[in-house]
Amino acid sequence: MSSISKLAVIGLGLIGGSLAKALKINGFAGNITGYDLSFEDALRGVQLGIVDEAVATLSEAVEGAEIIIVATPVRSLSSVFSELVEFLPKTAVLTDVGSVKGEVVKAAQMALGDQIGQFVPGHPIAGSEKSGVSAADETLFQHHRVILTPLERNDPEQVELVRRMWECAGAEVIEMAIRHHDEVLAATSHLPHLIAFSLVDTLAGEDDNKEIFKYAAGGFRDFTRIAASDPVMWRDIFLSNRDAVLKVLGHFSEGLSKLQKAIETGDEMTLSGVFTRAKSAREHFSKILELKSYTTMTNQNVTFTVRPGGSVQGDIRVPGDKSISHRSIMLGSLSEGITEIDGFLEGEDALATLQSFRDMGVVIEGPEKGHVTVHGVGMQGLKKAPGTLYVGNSGTSMRLLAGLLAAQDFESEMIGDESLSKRPMERVAVPLRLMGAQVETGDGGRPPLRCGGGQALQGIKYEMPMASAQVKSCVLLAGMYAEGETVVTEPAPTRDHTERMLRGFGYPVSRVGDEIKVVGGGKLTATKIDVPADISSAAFFMVAASITPGADLLLRHVGINPTRTGVIDILKLMGADITLSNEREVGGEPVADIRVRYAPLKGIHIPEALVPLAIDEFPVLFIAATCAEGTTVLSGAEELRVKESDRIQVMADGLSALGVQTLVKDDGIEITGQTIAGGEVESHGDHRIAMSFSVAALRSEGEVTIRNCANVATSFPNFVELANEVGLSINVVAD
Ligand code: S3P
């Protein structure tokens, strides 16, 4: 841009004026000449310091200009181009700001003839309901996109120049094909304007229009703000982007008629379906675009700084069990009737499962303070999702869903965030293929995971090569759709929530020794589910209390399913003081209140049989081992290397950063009790690593800083709040 000595803006309205103003303020040193049909407006531009000079004719404006921006309404472009072609300097680049590109390019071709290569079509995705040069705003394009739709005959250097001009005004520049641009804009900008104009006009024509406008509060105001936009500009846009607008308007009209009919016939399901899907859609799509884990998080990175020391006292309930929350949505969706869920984990992983079923047409209300209502569609009632299913950080969603999707009569594809995209998926693809399903994974057997539709599945007998509840569940879920018996053998007991919940929904599952069996062709009947607090989340506090002198903590309503209580057994073997009370069964799952008091810990050899029963709790158990006297030895735990991060290596690296030396092995680690100095740790976006090192600070000498902690929200959204309530001191810094 520094080489440009003259830039001409033709049409000094909101967009032309704002661009000129932004360029000036951001240091463009050349001359900016303004031309407008209204010379008065051009002069006003000079008075406001937006342009250097106002001229009365087009020829004066373009003379000697290196960049010419035509910022007039789209339908005037044809005549502006025809008029200026006569004076267009051979080396100048010409660009526009029109919201429609197809018609504009056609008009430019007609008018410019051989000089068409000088025209680089552009469109800033920014605007305001205000118009005119007085409304010019230098921040209008900041952090907004500008779409260029370059022509084959453009000189790449000239395209680059237009790009740099917009970047100088603060915009992010992207390129798109003309047709694609017009379709995207028809849907995202043109249609909403049309609806706003129509709504205001319709209401203004009602007999009691004054009343309507008098009492129309926030909703009407927000929704119709854009109806105050420039009518000429918008008339032109609709006439110029006719086909794309008519296509999307047709879809919208169908949607509106569907709602009209639902209201007439009192069809609650259709109304709830549309509203619940729409409510979550905006957030959902923005997460997919960013390939971040699921909802609620900000885009910012999050660092925890944890003050050393602290106490652990109190009486708390940690959020709902993640594994059970996932399964409650899956089975509730496939059941007949309405399933009411309480205690649902409103963490991003479980929300990813919930969104996937919404995408497949299931009406799900909530979550609202842990309550979710699922309107089951029956075993055959899922519909093809409109696009790819996005499951964020959640391995459980992808692996369990694979079993269900493989059996549907439609095709589907699942993708996830950066961490999930590195995790092994062949472990579920292999048995599903043996059942006759068509399943594809990406490079190295990782996501995306694609399931072809319409395959008849056969029951199989599958001996799992690893102790994985996710693989077991995937095969059992597919088994409900398969012909005959499906039998899964596990090398060691793994969590059995799928089996328990299937029985709760009235689907028979039998277990003999290490073999679990379902017979295909059954059905699920809706039920009520009370999700206990997650023992994996409680584990952070069990270790926190065990290592902190004077600690005394009560954890309420924790799930103590025997396939999950490895962490209690291991801590007790290390000498922890843990007592269970108020033991009861809730909806097929045992729960208890757990009291943990400080007790000096000692190192142990962790029995390998306990590994699958404490698989998610090892990161925090490594902290317990660091605070114990003597050496703790873990083996048979290679599965830890394929979790949200390589949890053996990442914990060893983090401990080392805090001054703690460990001995890493392929399938485990040896940790000898020693002092934790403090320092800075990288969590690699793994929620359990981030929380474990927060707990470590209770016994560190210096502060512990933990990077990349946003994903704590995947399993434990209120971790920091609860931790600080019991006596830790975690400060959250968003950077
Ligand atoms: C889970 C099973 C475990 C566990 C994960 C949840 C489940 O994974 O690590 O957090 O809900 O079935 P694997 O089955 O891969 O061990």
Atom of ligand 1 nearest to the CA of 472: 14
Read out DSSP for 404-452?
Answer: HHTTSSS-EEEE--TTGGGS--HHHHHHHHHTT--EEE-GGGPSPEEE-
Tell me the pLDDT band of 214, cut-offs 50, 70 and 90.
Answer: confident
**Would the pLDDT of 80 be above 90?**
yes
pLDDT at 205: 84
Structure-block tokens of residue 172: 């992010």
pLDDT at 298: 42
Distance 293 CA to ligand 1 centre (A): 17
pLDDT at 229: 86
Distance 335 CA to ligand 1 centre (A): 23
Atom of ligand 1 nearest to the CA of 468: 14
The yes-or-no answer on residue 616 being catalytic is yes
Distances (CA, A) of 616 to 334, 342, 647, 717: 28, 23, 10, 17
- 115-124 pLDDT per residue, tens: 999 999 999 9
Atom of ligand 1 nearest to the CA of 643: 9
Residue of the nearest CA to atom 5 in ligand 1? 396
pLDDT at 232: 86
**Would the pLDDT of 83 be above 80?**
yes
Report the alpha-carbon angle 636-603-555, nearest 5: 90
Tell me the pLDDT band of 126, cut-offs 50, 70 and 90.
Answer: confident
- 347-360 pLDDT per residue, tens: 999 999 999 999 99
- 670-693 pLDDT per residue, tens: 999 999 999 999 999 999 999 999
**Would the pLDDT of 212 be above 80?**
no
Q: Which is catalytic among the residues 359, 417, 530, 616?
A: 616
pLDDT at 291: 67
694: which DSSP letter?
A: H
pLDDT at 300: 57
Residue of the nearest CA to atom 13 in ligand 1? 468
CA pair distance 554, 552, nearest whole angstrom: 7
Predicted TM-score (pTM) of this structure: 0.81
**Would the pLDDT of 251 be above 70?**
yes
Section 328-351 average pLDDT: 96
Atom of ligand 1 nearest to the CA of 498: 12
Using alpha carbons, select from 571, 540, 512 the residue that is nearest to residue 689: 540
Judge whether 690 and 709 are in contact, CB under 8 Å.
yes
Binding-site residues from annotation for 3-phosphoshikimate: 322-323, 327, 468, 470, 616, 643
Q: Please report, rounded to a whole number, the percentage of residues in the chain having pLDDT higher than 70.
A: 98
Which three-class secondary structure state does DSSP give residue 221? helix
Q: Please report, rounded to a whole number, the percentage of residues in the chain having pLDDT higher than 90.
A: 89
Distance 676 CA to ligand 1 centre (A): 30
Strand order in the sheet with 302-306: 679-682, 704-707, 302-306, 730-734
Residue of the nearest CA to atom 15 in ligand 1? 468
Distance 395 CA to ligand 1 centre (A): 8
Binding-site residues from annotation: 322-323, 327, 395, 423, 468, 470, 616, 643, 647, 688
**Would the pLDDT of 460 be above 50?**
yes
Tell me the pLDDT band of 297, cut-offs 50, 70 and 90.
Answer: very low
Distance 467 CA to ligand 1 centre (A): 10
Distance 643 CA to ligand 1 centre (A): 9
Could you tell me the domains of the chain? 4-176 (3.40.50.720), 183-266 (1.10.3660.10), 302-316+532-734 (3.65.10.10), 325-485+499-509 (3.65.10.10)
Q: Among 477, 495, 497, which residue has the most ligand 1 atoms within 8 Å of its CB, making it the best to mutate?
A: 495
Using alpha carbons, select from 2, 185, 182, 15 the residue that is nearest to residue 96: 15
**Would the pLDDT of 10 be above 50?**
yes
pLDDT at 360: 95
pLDDT at 211: 73
Residue of the nearest CA to atom 11 in ligand 1? 323
Count of residues for the chain?
735
List own/partner pairs for 468-472 with CB under 8 A and 24 or more apart.
Answer: 468/427, 468/494, 468/639, 469/323, 469/494, 469/495, 469/496, 469/497, 469/498, 469/563, 469/612, 470/395, 470/396, 470/399, 470/400, 470/427, 470/428, 471/399, 471/427, 471/428, 471/431, 472/498, 472/516
Backbone angles phi, psi at 249, to 5 degrees: -65, -35
Q: Comparing 173-187, 224-238, 395-409, which segment has the lowest mean pLDDT?
A: 224-238
Residue of the nearest CA to atom 10 in ligand 1? 616
**Ligand 1 site: residues with CB under 6 angstroms?**
323, 396, 468-470, 473, 495, 615-616, 639
Binding-site residues from annotation for phosphoenolpyruvate: 322, 395, 423, 470, 647, 688
Residue of the nearest CA to atom 4 in ligand 1? 616
- 535-584 pLDDT per residue, tens: 999 999 999 999 999 999 999 999 999 999 999 999 999 999 999 999 99
pLDDT at 293: 55
Task: Quote the mean pLDDT of the chain.
Answer: 94
Atom of ligand 1 nearest to the CA of 471: 14
- 583-640 pLDDT per residue, tens: 999 989 999 999 999 999 999 999 999 999 999 999 999 999 999 999 999 999 999 9
